[in-house]
Amino acid sequence: MSIDLQQDYFALFGLPRRFQLDETALELAYHDLQGRVHPDRYAHLPDSEKRLSMQWATRVNEAFRTLRKPLTRATYLLELCGVDAGLHTNTAMSPAFLMEQMEWREGVEEARSAGDADELTQLHQRLRQHGREVFEELARQFDEQQDYPGAAETVRRLMFMEKLQQEIDDALEALET
């Protein structure tokens, strides 16, 4: 087993270091690597080989979990580019974005209070569509413009949106019970 533990996740899977990635190629590379490093293949070998296999399996799983989700992939790309996204320390957002968030939250709260599942479902769909547009913007920032500070701000915006999406899901679930 000769795999370099120091290589980044993209190199591990033989993928270009980009935000937009071929999800099928990621899946295929993951399954190929998992087959090669799975601890069961090394069960009959000395403990040192078993440990190495376990390290690799863990690394491959961690890399796959990181790259398959756009938000974690974006955060990882920022890290590779030496940009601190400030996910837990930088909460400064544009006034326009903050107003938009307030409007979304008010809409969710009104629909939740009214027990209006249809409105919550519509909000959910609109937010998903808006999220797709923001992810397209993020792809341009990474892959075309190399605007990493802008990408960091977009990642923070997407985290707000993801949290709001979860609040809508929770409100819908509460109405179903």
Q: Do domains 9-68 and 95-176 have the same CATH topology?
A: no
Query: CA-CA distance, 165 to 48, in Å (whole number)?
Result: 45
Q: How confident is the model at residue 18 (pLDDT cuts 50, 70, 90)?
A: very high
Is it the case that residue 148 has pLDDT exceeding 90?
yes
How far is residue 71 CA from its own chain's centroid?
3
- Check residues 34 and 1 and name the one with the higher pLDDT: 34
Closest CA to 100 of 71, 75, 123, 74: 123
- Check residues 87 and 27 and name the one with the higher pLDDT: 27
**Per CATH, which fold does 9-68 belong to?**
Helix Hairpins (1.10.287)
Question: 95-176 is classed in which CATH architecture?
Answer: Up-down Bundle (1.20)
Q: What residue segments make up the domains of the chain, in order of their start? A: 9-68, 95-176
Query: Can you give the pTM of this predicted structure?
Result: 0.84
Q: What is the model's pLDDT at position 76?
A: 96
φ, ψ of residue 4 to 5 degrees: the values are -80, 115
- Check residues 91 and 15 and name the one with the higher pLDDT: 15
Closest CA to 123 of 165, 82, 173: 165
Q: With H, G, I as helix, E, B as strand and everything else as coil, classify residue 115.
A: coil
Q: What is the mean pLDDT of residues 113-130?
A: 95
Residue pointed to by tokens 């979860």: 166
Instruction: Read off the pLDDT of residues 43-65 as tens digits, 9 standing for 90 and up.
Output: 778 888 888 888 888 999 999 99
